[in-house]
Structure formats: structure tokens, C-alpha cells
A and B are shown apart, each in its own frame.
Chain A
Amino acid sequence: MGATAGGEIKVLSGNQAAAKAAVLCQPDVVAAYPITPQSEVVEELSKFYAEGALQAEFVEVEGEHSAMSVLIGASSSGGRTFSATSSHGLLSMFEAYFYASTLRLPIVMAHVCRELAAPNTVLCSQQDILTMRDAGWIQIHCASCQEILDSIIMGYRLAEDPDILLPVNICYDGHYLSHFSARVEVPDQTDVVTFLPEKDLRECRLDPDKPMMQAPYLGGKLFTEYRYKHCMAMQNALPEIDYIDGEFQKSFGRSYGGLIEEYRNEDAEIVLVALGSAASTAKAVIDLKRDEGVKVGLVRIRCFRPFPCDRLEKALRGVKAIGVIDRDVCFGWNMGIVFMELRSLLNRSQINLPMVNFIAGLSGADINIENIGRAINDIQQVSRGGSDREVTWLDLE
């Protein structure tokens, strides 16, 4: 990796990295409401604001619905905006959340993945954000504190692209990444300003000198036209995410693979698919299994929305079996959400291979070396036709 630009080396938690990234992107308006495990982001932003490092309107709101509503107004006026939330905060925000994407507003919001009650919990899973998969936002999932910081910077470049204009969620696992401290290279302010587009290039915004109507009551054809354009903007984002990843590497010396990250996948016979922090642990397990002679690789989905069909198809074609770790459940299908998405993809690509699903890590249950090793053994067995069980609930074994 190695840096090209002269950044400052710091030890930051995932939350601190997110707040630092937001400050570097110089938003005009910030509105967020604290919720475990995201609260530290709001605390850090308040501190930066008090110190003068964050030169933005910092709006103290009474809840997440208001936070997103404030950003909708600010973004509609052409401002650059930032927020952060988690779990029940996201649910509380939902009405405004859907508005933000369908108004095509380039809001960037950090999302700290947390389980949803009941029963009560504040621990990690990706149930909250994966449940929002059809709400029209771009979803990028991170696997390190450095990646959180870098992805927020890349997120603004993506969101504000005139061919995209969509809100972007930068997601990271609660506690595993939000409260995990690591070495983070903080880029120079001037390099970030150079990397990001100039502000206020949007034609559609609230401007007294050029009045426009926003979201009038519409039925039928014109409504359908806006939905179609939203879907197309999602598709436009696919190549752009890979492109921006390359541009980021040129400017800052770091790259994450764009839509997906592949690890020891070139000659892999079986592949493990995962999102977020579990994928980092999986790398260590794959190294151990490779030492034992198992040809196993990893595909980490970074971009869950839009779903990176072509990249995944390329990565998975030709392997003997795949296993998917889901830190969530898809009610009504008795499987995980990511697994269900991959089944759709393989069907679309007419790839017929054995697939197994592992539900793991709900409400902060660790996805550790032991149970990832167990999963890889299962995938191996399936690749040899040795098992017909589709879904394994790892923590119930």
C-alpha cells in the first residue's frame, strides 16, 4: 500500500476515523443524533465543531427523523452534508431516508451496523442496514478503520457525480470496527479538497434566483420516469466505484478493490463470501487453510447496493462451491439476505454450483477463527457432494 501523499499517522477508532473523514470533506451542514454504537461520531464532531476544525452548521436535532430531514433541506439547497446513525436510529429515520434517495440528494452518512430488537441489544449485526436494501441508497461496507476514513472521502466523490446523485451509506460493524482502534493515516486537507469535486454544481436545487419545484404530486408516467432514472443512476455507480477506487490509489496510495475485494482467489476451488469485519477474520482463516493445502479464497462484498453482479460473476465463475456468511436473517426465506442476493445473481448468470449459507454473529456473537474454519470445512464437503444442508446457523450448532 504505502502512502504517496504526506498524511499524518494516528491511532483512531472506527468512529473517530468517520468523524475525521467528515471534517476533511468540509461539509456545510451536519446533523446527527447519538445512538450506541455510533455516539462517539457525534461526540467527535461536536468536539471538532467547538475547536473550530469543523466549519459547518452543526444542527442539534431531537431525533434521527429530524437529522435526515435537516440534511434533505440542506442538500436540496446545494450544500454538502453529513450524518451518522445506527440500528433503531436508522429505523426512526426511515421515512426521511427514503425521501433522501428518491430526491436524488448526494448525502453521505456513516452507518454503524447494529442488531435490531427485540430482544433488546446494542451489539453488532448487519440486520439494520441490509434490511434497507431497497431504499435506494448506495451501501459501501468497510473492513478496517482506515477504510472507513477513505470510503467517506470516496463517498462524496461518488454521491456528487452528476450521473449518480445518490446518497451513500458508509457502513461498518458496530463495536468490532466502531470501537476498535487501529493505525490510520489521515490525509492532508489540501489533498482531500483536490480529490473531491467542487461544491454546488447541481442544476436542481432550491435557489431563490432560479426557483424550481421539488417533488410535486405526481402520478403515472413521469413518476415511473424518475424511478427508472434512479435505477439507472445505481447502475452508473457500479463502474464509477471501481474508477474512484483507482483514482484514490493514485492520490493516496490506498485501494480496496472497488466493488469487491478478492483475497487468494486466483486459483480458488471454493470461495467464502462475506461483508464487513468478518471478512478480515476470514483472511486469517484462509491463510491457515491454504497452509493445509485447501484451495480456498475470499470475496468480500464492499458495495452491497448497487449489487456488483458483473464483478461477482467473474470472481465466482468456475469455482466448485461457495459459502456465504450472513450476519443477518432474511425472514420468510430461512436464510441470510446476502445468500438470497447471491442465489439471484447465480441464477441470472446461469452459474449452477452448490451454495451454502452460514448465519453467524447475530447480536454480537463473535465470528471467530473456529467458526469460519468450520464454515470452510462445510463448503469443502459440499463441493464434493457430501452435504445437502443449505443453511447452517453456526451459533446453534
Chain B
Amino acid sequence: MKFKTKYPGPWVDIDKTELLTSDVGDWRYRSPEVEKSKCSHCGQCYLYCPTGCIEDKGPYFEANLAFCKGCGICAKVCPIEAIKMTTGGK
């Protein structure tokens, strides 16, 4: 019998970061693509993203694709249409 943890119940050390989150990026069939030069850095996408995966990159915002499920809410709320949902990309 091979065990991965020494603990009897479902408790996890916080440095075992692979257990803290599930990689859900592969659930996605379309991806948000930001036109970086167009982004006004207003932060609407950051506020509305239900998975909280939008990261502030300084002059623009961008989704962390490890966690983005491709729902498209960011593209919908972007007031200047700087985000497009694309398929076939990453």
C-alpha cells in the first residue's frame, strides 16, 4: 500500500502547493485574447472574472490561462472591446 501523505485525515501542509488549487485551464475551449496596446487598464475584467484569474500586468490586464475556464465574461464587460474570445489558440 503506497501513501502520499502521513496524515490520517484530509489535512494538507500549506507548502504542498500542488494541493491548494486544481488546474482547470484544460476545461477551456476558447481563450480571452487581450489587445495589449488597446487596454485602458480600467480593471473591469479583473473585477468581474468569476474565477479571479485576471492578473495586473502593469499597463494591461491578462488572464492566467492555468485557471481561466474561458467563460468570456471579461470580453463581455470590457468597455472598449479590447478582449476577444478565440478558439484554436492556447
Task: Say yes or no: B12 contacts A225, CB within 8 Å.
Answer: no
Task: Say yes or no: A214 contacts B7, CB within 8 Å.
Answer: no
Q: Which residue of B lies closest to A219 (CB)?
A: B22
Is A217 engaged at the interface, CB distance under 8 Å to the other chain? yes
**Interface pick from B13-21, B41-49, B61-69:** B13-21
Bitwise interface map of A from 201 to 217 toward B, beta carbon under 8 Å scored 1, else 0:
00110000001111111
Is A274 engaged at the interface, CB distance under 8 Å to the other chain? no
Task: Say yes or no: A212 contacts B19, CB within 8 Å.
Answer: no
Bitwise interface map of B from 55 to 88 toward A, beta carbon under 8 Å scored 1, else 0:
0000000000000000000000000000000000
Given contacts A213-B12, A217-B22, contact A204 B7 (CB under 8 A): yes
A132-B25 Cα distance, complex, nearest whole Å: 38
Q: Tell me the residues in window 211-230 of chain A with beta carbons closer than 8 Å to chain B beta carbons.
A: 211-219, 221-222, 225-226, 228-230
Q: Tell me the residues in window 224-241 of chain A with beta carbons closer than 8 Å to chain B beta carbons.
A: 225-226, 228-230, 233
Given contacts A216-B20, A217-B22, contact A222 B4 (CB under 8 A): yes
Task: Say yes or no: B9 contacts A213, CB within 8 Å.
Answer: no
Given contacts A222-B4, A225-B3, A225-B4, contact A212 B9 (CB under 8 A): no
Q: Which residue of A lies closest to B10 (CB)?
A: A215
* Chain B interface residue bracket vs A: 10 to 19
Partner of A102, one of B10, B13, B14, B22: B10
Is A103 engaged at the interface, CB distance under 8 Å to the other chain? yes
A213-B1 Cα distance, complex, nearest whole Å: 24
User: Could you say which residues of chain A place their CB within 8 Å of the CB of B14?
Assistant: 211-213
User: Could you say which residues of chain B place their CB within 8 Å of the CB of A215?
Assistant: 10-11
Q: Which residue of A lies closest to B9 (CB)?
A: A104
How distant is A199 from chain B, measured CB to nearest CB, in Å? 18
How distant is A227 from chain B, measured CB to nearest CB, in Å? 10
Task: Say yes or no: B9 contacts A203, CB within 8 Å.
Answer: no
Is B8 engaged at the interface, CB distance under 8 Å to the other chain? yes
Given contacts A222-B5, A225-B3, contact A214 B22 (CB under 8 A): no
User: Could you say which residues of chain A place their CB within 8 Å of the CB of B3?
Assistant: 225, 229
Is A165 engaged at the interface, CB distance under 8 Å to the other chain? yes
How distant is A264 from chain B, measured CB to nearest CB, in Å? 40
The CB with the most chain A CB atoms within 10 A, among B11, B14, B19, B22, is that of B11
Residues of A with Cβ closer than 8 Å to B?
Answer: 102-105, 165, 203-204, 211-219, 221-222, 225-226, 228-230, 233
| 22 residue pairs A–B, Cβ–Cβ below 8 Å | A103-B9, A104-B8, A203-B7, A204-B7, A204-B9, A213-B11, A213-B12, A213-B13, A213-B14, A213-B19, A213-B20, A216-B12, A216-B20, A218-B19, A221-B4, A222-B4, A222-B19, A225-B3, A225-B4, A228-B1, A229-B3, A229-B9
- Nearest 4 A-B pairs (CB), nearest first? A104-B9, A204-B11, A213-B12, A215-B10
